[in-house]
Amino acid sequence: MRLLSVMVPWLLCLSTCDSYRFLGVFPFHGKSHFVMFEALLKGLARKGHQVDVISTFPLKKPYPNYNDIVKLQAPMQLMNNLTYEMMNKLITSDVVNAVATMGGNNLCEYLGKPEILELVRNPPKDPPYDAVLLEVFGAHCFAIIGHLWNVPIIGVSTTSLYPWLHWFVAQPENIAFVPNNCIGYVGYMNFWQRVHNVLHTSYAKWSFFSKTSVQDDIIKKYFGPGMPSVRELEKKVSIILMNSHISLNGVKPTTPAVVDVGGLHIYDEGSTLRPELEKWMNDSKHGFIYFTFGSMVMIETFPDQFLKVLYTSLGKIAPVRVLMKVPRPEKLPSNLPTNIQTFRWLSQLKVLKHPNIKVFITHGGLMGTQEAIACGVPMIGIPLFADQFANIDSYVAHNIAVRVNIKGITEEILDKALNAVLWDPLYRESARNLSRRFLDRPMNGLDTAIFWIEYVLKYGSDVLRSPALILPWWQLYLLDVIGLFVICAIVVIIVVKFVVCFVLEMINGGLVSSSQSKKID
């Protein structure tokens, strides 16, 4: 009995001593972004960590160790609410400006929300927070929370790094062969593409930094003078978890503080499909196509000409069936082909894993296409805005997709794409091969992310910090060393010139003396 009384507290300590408390701050109102954050936060909760969350997407059902402590009101509803006209505005908008304002400065005003101010000024102490998790995107003002609490700041990026994010952790950036992810080049860049890459990368950094400098004023407004600037706060990030993988994004120079966790969100929590939908997929003996434009876009608002092309081309492939996401199916034209089944919402991963699926028609969102890659499903990409064009171009280069441009789409173009991806074995085999490469790693994306978060908390916020972060820019680029070499070269040139001139003068002097002596003789 005495042994038991000693062992029980010891065993309890084993199970709790490595448990941490996290605050997740994810104010951006894009559901596709939060898919990754939710998966990470739930993963931490399943590991026994306590997770408190500030977001616009509170959980619908209670989850152990996961608490939504502040629910934010989104400035605009994006989920299943983006019409064709709104989408066209996004296509023509400046991505950098959109991230800096809509995804940045506007969100920083949440810092003045009474619940957040109270939390920051009087954080819980039993237990205290061990780290702050936040999205590295546009609203980096929220790093002030980690600074004030003196805890590590864990950055999470839903894409490969935007040009203005590299400097957070002194990530090496060689734009000679690594295109920035705003312009969408894939593979080797020719001369003019490299020129464009240099100019656009420089512009993107300048534009983002200048536009988001107003976050300094917002921080001071709510927390008083003497606060660090947002640029200083950015350099306090301990690690960035990046939604990328070498099989998709290629080889790049990197630092240990940037960790690839591509596909982190691909986790099946035991979700189920409606019995009638499960039966529909099982009965699709000739296979089916899964078609969705993601969590934001309402396909029923697209022009009648576009929908007519869809109806005609998709109707031709019967008996192959089509499962299409339509938020408001009653708004569709009435002559829907009989081989098309519509739905409002379902477990996408369950559908992509189904043995009868043939093709995924997608807008090119990174989360959904990574799920398709993990399941080995080839794609037809119809990119609509943002990074979707670059994503689809990358998949085309991997021979797992065909791109169809929404502008100028015709029945003939879509027929050709459908026939290629449905019946050419190249796409299916390439998709399966890429799936194997994508999944072949020591740990999956979620476990990798959790490991490195815990690593930072165990060994300190600076454990992965690059020495480049503390070097002045002129030392970082070796300008002092180059300056020394230039001075030495100049000195050598001067000395050589002096010696040569001296020798020439001596020679000339000798010749003159010899000439004069001959004349005397």
Residue 189 lies in a domain: yes
Q: How far apart are CA 305 and CA 167, in angstroms?
A: 46
Segments in the chain below pLDDT 50 = 1-16
Based on the fold, state whether residues 360 and 211 are members of the same structural domain.
no
DSSP string for 358-376: EEEEE---HHHHHHHHHHT
Based on the fold, state whether residues 203 and 98 are members of the same structural domain.
yes
Based on the fold, state whether residues 361 and 427 are members of the same structural domain.
yes
Based on the fold, state whether residues 71 and 198 are members of the same structural domain.
yes
- Residue 378 CA: distances (Å) to CA of 89, 342, 370, 405, 467: 29, 21, 11, 17, 43
Residue 229 lies in a domain: yes
Based on the fold, state whether residues 90 and 177 are members of the same structural domain.
yes
Based on the fold, state whether residues 406 and 453 are members of the same structural domain.
no
Strand 258-260, strand 237-242: pairing? parallel
Looking at residue 207, its pLDDT comes to: 96
Q: How far apart are CA 261 and CA 445, in angstroms?
A: 4
Looking at residue 80, its pLDDT comes to: 57
Based on the fold, state whether residues 169 and 229 are members of the same structural domain.
yes
Residue 194 lies in a domain: yes
Looking at residue 270, its pLDDT comes to: 78
Based on the fold, state whether residues 434 and 452 are members of the same structural domain.
no
Looking at residue 294, its pLDDT comes to: 84
pLDDT in tens, 324-349: 988 888 888 888 999 999 988 888 99
Residue 6 lies in a domain: no
Based on the fold, state whether residues 431 and 450 are members of the same structural domain.
no
Domain count, the chain: 2
pLDDT in tens, 229-243: 999 999 999 999 999
Range of the domain at 219: 19-264+444-469
Secondary structure in 3-state letters for 264-324: CCCCCCCCCCCHHHHHHHHCCCCCEEEEECCCCECHHHCCHHHHHHHHHHHHHCCCCEEEE
**Helices and strands of the chain, counted as H and E runs:** 21, 13
Looking at residue 93, its pLDDT comes to: 67
Q: Report the CATH number that the domain containing residue 203 is assigned in CATH.
A: 3.40.50.2000
CB crowding 379-388: b at 16 or more within 10 Å, else e? bbbbbbbbbb
Residue identified by tokens 């002596």 is: 517
Based on the fold, state whether residues 400 and 421 are members of the same structural domain.
yes
Looking at residue 258, its pLDDT comes to: 97
Residue 515 lies in a domain: no
Looking at residue 16, its pLDDT comes to: 45
Looking at residue 300, its pLDDT comes to: 85
Based on the fold, state whether residues 435 and 453 are members of the same structural domain.
no
Contact 236, 469 (CB under 8 A): no
Partners of 133 in the β-ladder: 24, 154
Residue 500 lies in a domain: no
Looking at residue 10, its pLDDT comes to: 44
Based on the fold, state whether residues 89 and 219 are members of the same structural domain.
yes
Looking at residue 241, its pLDDT comes to: 98
Looking at residue 197, its pLDDT comes to: 95
Contact 288, 313 (CB under 8 A): no
Residue 499 lies in a domain: no
Looking at residue 12, its pLDDT comes to: 45
Residue 123 lies in a domain: yes
Whole-model pTM: value is: 0.90
Looking at residue 6, its pLDDT comes to: 43
